[in-house]
Copies of this chain bind each other. A is one copy, B any other.
Amino acid sequence: MKIWQLQARPEAGSSILLASGEAPSAPLGPLDVAVRIHAVSLNYRDLLVARSARATALVPLSDGAGEVIEVGDAVTHLQRGDRVMANFFPHWRDGELSAYDHTTALGGGASDGMLREEVVLPAHAWVKVPRGWSFEEAAALPCAGLTAWQALFEVTTTGPGQTVLLLGTGGVSIFALQLALRAGAHVVITTQSPSKVERLQAFGAGVTVIETASTAGKFAEAVRAATGGRGVDTVVDVAGGATLNETLGALRFGGTAALVGVLSGFQGEIALGQILQKRLAIRGVYVGSVAMFERYVRALEASDERPMIDRVFTASASGSSTEDVAEAYAHLASGQHFGKVVLRLT
């Protein structure tokens, strides 16, 4: 089967380096399930991985969907032909994350990911594609969608009467926008791009858009003003370091910042006084467990909503070209997307 692998770390500012090759199918244990991958999607985390030194020869990407082609003897709840997605953490089934679950995330430093024709994982790592969804739609879900779900429904609750603040229009934020509106909450969302304001306002009266001057822009005051001075109940914070103080300043007394990403930096100089004085909570959110994914899929099946896909690229499993994949990486890196960047494997 064809696999794609990351090459030595790219020069600063240059594009991601990839190679492709042939690999034998992985052996199938009694509890394993082999899947032919039909679509994958890219996340900001995949850029970080690709730019880190340790990723050489790694098969990248955590998100993929496909069709079961073979199941081990002891597998009971899946069969050939089932349409499935892999969980970002294939070994985090339920309860609390462990160090082992964490280090075996797909397409991270230690475990190959989904950018290959076939993937073999234990049966418990696969979650069924929502009924009626295409592989492209399903491939968009695992990392960004489940992150949004965990932030809004596992570490906090979100519903009528609450206001959620979202930062920018990347994958997680757009999933969170859809979910928060469905849950009856009001959404305040920031964007630096005037061209996105209208698209966001098209989501209806439940959305308040705030334009910020720059990535590290101030937004706390504008958010408080947009909530009558009260502040928001929850922030899904994809930015981290540079703006965490703004995030905290935007919260109401007792509100929660679900910290899901560090787009603006891993380090943050935080004014701790407001955490105490407003009794704030910061909750670290890292994608999610298989059990969370299953709850999320149940929620998706009860609605007509589909992922906001910015663009679908196509990569060919025949030949040795990697340009099609590199193009998808470049599009994500450009930050011009509104929703997810997907890659169909043909």
Contacts and interface: CB of A to CB of B under 8 A. Distances in A.
Interface of A: 29-31, 74, 93-99, 102, 153, 155, 157-162, 179, 182-184, 186, 206, 240-241, 244, 253-254, 259-262, 265-286, 291, 295-296, 298-300, 302-303
Contacts of A183: 159-160, 183-184
B184 A303 contact: yes
Q: Could you say which of A93, A161, A267, A270 has the most chain B C-beta atoms within 10 Å of its C-beta?
A: A161
Nearest to A103: B277
Contacts of A266: 271-273
Contacts of A157: 157, 159
A114 B273 CA distance: 24
A186 B301 CA distance: 11
14 contacts: A29-B30, A95-B291, A153-B160, A160-B182, A161-B296, A161-B300, A183-B183, A183-B184, A184-B184, A262-B273, A266-B273, A269-B270, A276-B284, A276-B286
B244 A272 contact: yes
A241 B160 contact: no
Q: Could you say which of A184, A276, A285 has the most chain B C-beta atoms within 10 Å of its C-beta?
A: A184
A280 B31 CA distance: 32
B276 A262 contact: yes
A292 to B, nearest CB: 10
B279 A275 contact: no
B295 A161 contact: yes
Given A183-B183, A272-B244, A161 B280 contact: no
A186 B284 CA distance: 25
A287 to B, nearest CB: 9
Q: Could you say which of A74, A266, A272, A300 has the most chain B C-beta atoms within 10 Å of its C-beta?
A: A272
Contacts of A283: 279-281
Given A157-B159, A184-B182, A269 B272 contact: no
Nearest to A302: B186
A272 to B, nearest CB: 5
Nearest to A259: B275
Nearest to A266: B273
A299 B259 contact: no
Contact of A269 (B95, B153, B262, B267): B267
Contacts of A282: 275, 281-282
Nearest to A95: B94
